[in-house]
Amino acid sequence: MPLNAWSDNITIAELSDEPMFSEDMDMLVARIDELRRDNDELVPHVIVDMSQVDAVNSSNLGAMLRLRKTLINSKHRMLVCRVNNGVWSAMMATGLDRVFDFTEDTTTALATLQLNL
């Protein structure tokens, strides 16, 4: 998974489809946990780019929820962008369309975070 440190306090995670999705999310959550242990102020806001993800399963959604919880506990945000129709259907079916914050694309997500910093 390419992790792009766009700035000191914003990271863009470009997720891949399974089987890499699970590994990518585990690596991202571990990285955020490590930063929290070192210094909570080092934790970035995270933009999750899902343009390469065709479908999600319960494990994927669970990992996204863990990441969201970790970020919220550090007073940071997670924005999900570039979600295709199949993933969006899964989000709606599980009610997660009301839990996660979505934007259309990475540029909009960056603008949203920068306006709120």
Residue 27 has pLDDT above 90, yes or no: no
Give the closest residue to 25 by CA, choosing from 54, 62, 55: 62
Average pLDDT score over the chain: 91
Confidence at residue 117, expressed as pLDDT on a 0 to 100 scale: 62
Rounded Cα gap, residues 37 and 33, in angstroms = 6
pLDDT band at 30 (very low <50, low <70, confident <90, very high): confident
In Å, how far are 6, 23, 38, 96 from 101, measured between CA atoms? 19, 22, 27, 9
Q: Is 45 exposed, middle or buried (0-12, 13-18, 19+ CB in 10 A)?
A: buried
**Over the stretch 58-74, which tens digit does the pLDDT of each residue have?**
989 999 999 999 999 88
Half-sphere exposure of 67 (CA within 13 A, CB side): 29
pLDDT band at 47 (very low <50, low <70, confident <90, very high): very high
Confidence at residue 4, expressed as pLDDT on a 0 to 100 scale: 79
Name all domains of the chain by residue range, CATH numbers in brackets: 3-116 (3.30.750.24)
Confidence at residue 35, expressed as pLDDT on a 0 to 100 scale: 87
